[in-house]
Amino acid sequence: MPVLDEFHAMFPHLPPTVMLKVDLLRQGVQFGAAPIGTRHYHHHDEKGQKPVDFKAHLQGSVTLPDGSPVFVGHNPASRYTILVDPESGRLRLVDGAAHEPVCDLMPGPRFTWTGGRTSTQAPMASVFTPSLGGACGPVAIFLLRHCEFAVDHEECRFCSWVRMGKSQEMRPNVSDMRETLGRIWGEQGAIGYLAFSGGSLFNRTKEADAFLTYMAAVRETGLPVPPTVAAIQALDAPDSRRLRDAGFDYACYSMEVWDEKAWTDVLPGKARSVGRERWMACLAEAVGVFGPGRVLSNFVAGVETMVPGLYETPQAAAESTLAGMRWCCEQGVYPKYAIWVPSTGAAYAGRPPAPLEYYAHLLEGRQALYAEFPLPVPDIDCRHCLTQSCEADLATLDPARYAAGAAGLVHWNERHQRAHIAA
């Protein structure tokens, strides 16, 4: 049975293209010779960027015919391949060894600035990075290119970051930033958001220092700054205040998984550094600093199914994560999720992805929470940049079922201006 018909038969309440998006995310795709993605720096040294298979460092997005954007990474073992149709030149998604057609695809943005260098010869793609292939051109800046959790093998089990090359702590170079950000604005004309992220330190105040230093450097460029988010370990209230006072619009203290046992297995570094209970207290305190809906917490949806013996069914795992999302909503914390991509280089590389049944349950449950809690959708989210989750697709494709509450109050397609893409 063709793939989309298969998804429709299995999950009649969900748009089949949404389940296709989930499957593409959890399995990755074979890139073939299709022009997809740009070189991704993995936030490490340039020397660590020379893999055996260059495609391992390509990341980008494609758009399904119904407008759903999908983040794609290369997986040579995926059932899906992206090909270029020799006659029309269009991108085509095919399934299996027989290359059964699935659907046409639109390529996501590829910006020329990612191949540029600053006058100090720094690769611009290492100064800022296109974030998850969003068509509104969001960018990330990776500071603290070092994670102390990796020292004793306590890194988060889904993280491919810490094994991809030699980690190093960096200082911002304002002149490199000004040149790169200026070129990004000039080329793209739009930047959906600017995410600050990096490795973790056991001294969280020192970790916060780096975020403040980088924010000051970005401001010193004198260029416009899009909505900003600090993705950082959960901070105590005084440090949350420092983030807010430095001008961060949002703070994201990601729980990643919900259950205590999942924390121990999946997040050994975070469990030792802060612990689940304190993390939750920091989230609640941060709402008092930033305000309801301005503190976010991400869940790596599906990775919790890897914890041996914790959940009897995929639905039970999804219910647990939904309980975490509900707790967030009750505190005024906006819950986000990213579909788990079992990445090469992570401790959990090679594990099977979470079952589709898990995602079907989670996706529907998350949309239902919009109806219960009036938390506004953050300014950093739009349909074009939510390439790793399906809130916007569901609300757009089936509003009668999935656009209740806050999900129905936003124009998901028009929230961020689309970036200009060179022909």
The answer to whether residue 346 forms part of the interface with ligand SF4 (CB under 6 A) is no
In the bound complex, what is the minimum distance in angstroms from residue 231's beta carbon to ligand SF4?
9
In the bound complex, what is the minimum distance in angstroms from residue 233's beta carbon to ligand SF4?
7
Residue 376 and residue 412 in contact, taking contact as beta carbons nearer than 8 Å: no
Q: List the one residue from 200, 331, 343, 388 that touches ligand SF4 (CB under 6 A).
A: 200
The answer to whether residue 295 forms part of the interface with ligand SF4 (CB under 6 A) is no
Q: Site residues for ligand SF4, window 83-112 (CB under 6 A)? A: none
Q: Site residues for ligand SF4, window 143-182 (CB under 6 A)? A: 147, 149, 155-156, 159, 161-162
- Distance (Å, whole) CA 195 – CA 201: 18
31 vs 258 by CB, closer to ligand SF4: 258
Window 243-272: contact mask with ligand SF4 (x via CB under 6 A): --------------------------x---
152 vs 414 by CB, closer to ligand SF4: 152
The answer to whether residue 348 forms part of the interface with ligand SF4 (CB under 6 A) is no
- Distance (Å, whole) CA 254 – CA 231: 8
DSSP summary character for residue 30: B
In the bound complex, what is the minimum distance in angstroms from residue 73's beta carbon to ligand SF4?
16
DSSP summary character for residue 354: P
The answer to whether residue 199 forms part of the interface with ligand SF4 (CB under 6 A) is yes
159 vs 191 by CB, closer to ligand SF4: 159
The answer to whether residue 140 forms part of the interface with ligand SF4 (CB under 6 A) is no
- Distance (Å, whole) CA 388 – CA 284: 26
In the bound complex, what is the minimum distance in angstroms from residue 109's beta carbon to ligand SF4?
25
Q: Are strands 228-231 and 194-198 parallel, antiparallel or unpaired?
A: parallel
Cβ count within 10 A of residue 199: 24
DSSP for 35-91, written as a single string: ---EE--TTS-GGGG--SSGGGGEEEEEE-TTS-EEEEEB-TT-SEEEEE-TTT--E
What are the beta bridge partners of residue 337?
Answer: 299
Q: Are strands 100-107 and 58-63 parallel, antiparallel or unpaired?
A: antiparallel
Kindly list the residues in this chain that would bind ligand SF4 in the complex (CB under 6 A): 147, 149, 155-156, 159, 161-162, 199-200, 269
